Structure 1
């Protein structure tokens, strides 16, 4: 095995998911730990003021800003699948990127990546037509934007086919099936709640390029970016512990260098 000293990994988190008077997570604390922020664009969470505040926090911490695009499902937090056409997926993706770009531009910054959320993410991971529609929307907005998708999925393939820079994503706290897909949240134990277990899984993905599936199979995967969820009770502590483990292994935490649209 080669030394970990030369390895670099992006650490991303889904942020800006409060809405109105309702608050979710500690975005300010997480932004002191992660290197990339996927900011909700109002479809599954967030609102204009929350978007503005989260962008400002990301800029203050020097964290890369990304559009966390979703199905239009505030009540279901974007985790319920909908029968959307590729044309609809294209339009809603373009709409949400444009909304976040306005706030980033006003703050003197830029959008650097796009990551679908929840059900849209999982649908695009297996449905090539939806994946192509999302990739086309990202490319048509700015071909320098990085598309983030599940490692080994149709979304990553579609991004590459569209000529986009891509980031293959892995999840520290989610269990995997033997085909490389995520175990659905509706199933028991789909989320790893033990910090040590989640950190061990993340380290294996980064250092060895593999993860153990729920049936015991070893799944090979490439991880360019690791997701840490921001909505759990211990999200900040876990993110800090994971970053400390990465640093201790000589692994550099940094966002990908894609520039995205100019401010």
Structure 2
């Protein structure tokens, strides 16, 4: 078995952020750092599989709406719905009006409250509607949107794991990855993802380089605002918060791509 820091980081990223059969061999801060730096690569695979499902359905005559549903369903399936669950739990915690400890207890409960249900429904509707609009343009636009949104979602997780962002609890995935990524490294990954999106937009002619880059920047910015709110509200990040920033970034990227 290949044992290098890069390999350990890739295994951490795919083993914790997807359901793909990748065994995590190390669970320490160094492996977590590599994993969170590699998170956009996991998003590239998830987005590619989502795009493939949508394109296949489109060419089978299913139409843009069903292709869009597949584009939203595949990422959810590949994460066991954990990011969506994190989004719902974070919405319940933010909407509970309780102090930090009470809000964290709300987020740990197995049921979903009214805030969580409302946010979950609206986010999924926005994702499906945006993907449907993209697929109506062309199969290339739909596929590109699916990939960019998935990568932007994992980039938001990389940025949320930067140093200076504390964990709200001493246990769980949030505590394992909170603060592991140096700020400079996080910014370099963000620049690389933005550049790659711009290059992809120019190469495939789906949306053009400017809009593709803007989608990533806006996704990271919106997720950053949510992260800041959660840190102030809960005292730090949790695994649920990581899922929430990922879904927020994915949705923002899709909306920006189809605007205009």
Q: What TM-score, normalized to structure 2?
A: 0.28
With normalisation by structure 1, the TM-score equals 0.28
User: Which has the larger helix fraction?
Assistant: 2
